[in-house]
Amino acid sequence: MLYGAIAGTIPDLDVLTNFFTDTITAIEWHRGFSHSILFSVLLAPLLGVLVNKMEPRLNLGWKPWANLFFWCLFTHPLLDAFTTWGTQLFWPFDLRLAFNSIFVIDPIYTLPFLVLTLLVLFCKRGSKIRWRLNTTGLVLSTGYLLLTLVIKTVVHRRFERALQHQKIVYSAISTRPSPMNTVLWNANIDTPDHYLIADYSFFDTAPIQFKPYAKNREAAKEMMVFPNVQRLITITEGWYILEQKQEQWYFYDLRFGLIPRKNGEPFFAFSYGLREENGQIVAEEIPKTGNDTGYLLKSLWQRIKGKSLPENQARP
């Protein structure tokens, strides 16, 4: 279990690139090669040989160790593929897999798995109860993960019905769960001049409301010619806004939704300040929460509980 935990952590060591390269390159590399099938296939035998030499008393040979490491390395990016950021599972092919069905932290997925794994530590090796606990943990977590795909399908259709009811013409829609739950969902809708952003909780009785955000494509032409801005656009898969405030340009990645603030002005979770330096654009990520964590959690909980219609209005 110790070696499995170590192996399961290795793919995320790609975050160390933040200390050695620029912001845009670090984003491009995140969940890249280290989250691919190729990485798992290449590294597993090397780790198998290494640990077999470190544990000669077990006399297992390198293959069982390699098998352990492969599945721990491989299931990490497989799980990440269900999140919004996704993963380049088929690297070096330019294909990012992102099902957008679960937030990167979800207690319903993690806690049963964690509790049952800890209980396994107190069971004798080879005992039936140990096997049952382990199997139960896998079944519960994997079952919930697959259930999120069903929930996403239901939510996606509800957003589509709301758009149809409000006679909104759009070209694309992207949905994802809000932090730490699959009850409250967010949606981005692509229209010719604006993005529409909305949220929906299963406890809502009020109709879905869509808030427009201008794309600013014409105004941002001067910025979009820079190669680094084009790289950011590629990363966001086209879900982005460029905005100028007081002669400062900002780049917003819409895929991860909005974060509320106490002053009532939400901001995009992944926002970057842009500045020109030696004829190139340099991007710097804007801090997300600051000291508003308590307010964010309270706002999230309130929104999860749903929006209600006024008593004198009937739901359409």
CB 223 within 8 A of CB 281: yes
More confident residue, 285 or 314: 285
Average pLDDT over residues 79-89: 94
Which pTM does this prediction carry? 0.91
Q: Is the predicted pLDDT of residue 315 greater than 80, yes or no? A: no
pLDDT given for residue 241 in this prediction: 96
pLDDT given for residue 247 in this prediction: 87
pLDDT given for residue 312 in this prediction: 57
Q: Is the predicted pLDDT of residue 313 greater than 70, yes or no? A: no
Average pLDDT over residues 147-170: 98
Average pLDDT over residues 277-292: 84
Euclidean distance between CA atoms 145 and 249, whole angstroms: 39
Euclidean distance between CA atoms 250 and 270, whole angstroms: 11
Q: Is the predicted pLDDT of residue 161 greater than 70, yes or no? A: yes
Whole-number percent of the chain with pLDDT over 90: 82
The residue assigned the tokens 């006679």 is 167
**What's the mean per-residue pLDDT of the chain?**
93
Residue 104 pLDDT level (bands cut at 50, 70, 90): very high
Q: Look up residue 73 and give its two tokens.
A: 């390395």
Lowest mean pLDDT among 63-77, 124-138, 152-166: 124-138
Euclidean distance between CA atoms 173 and 175, whole angstroms: 7
pLDDT given for residue 260 in this prediction: 87
- CB count within 10 Å of CB 304 equals 16
Angle between helices 107-120 and 128-165 (to 10 degrees): 180
SS3 sequence of 68-88: HHHHHHHHHHHHHCCCCCCEC
pLDDT given for residue 310 in this prediction: 67
Lowest mean pLDDT among 100-114, 148-162, 299-313: 299-313
Sequence-ordered list of residues with C-beta below 8 angstroms from that of 199, at least 6 positions apart, any chain: 178, 184, 185, 186, 187, 208, 303
Average pLDDT over residues 262-269: 83
Sequence-ordered list of residues with C-beta below 8 angstroms from that of 197, at least 6 positions apart, any chain: 186, 187, 188, 189, 210, 211, 213, 254, 257, 258
How does DSSP assign 47-65, residue by residue? HHHHHHHH-GGG---HHHH
Q: Is the predicted pLDDT of residue 74 greater than 70, yes or no? A: yes
Question: What are φ and ψ of residue 187, in 5° steps?
Answer: -140, 140
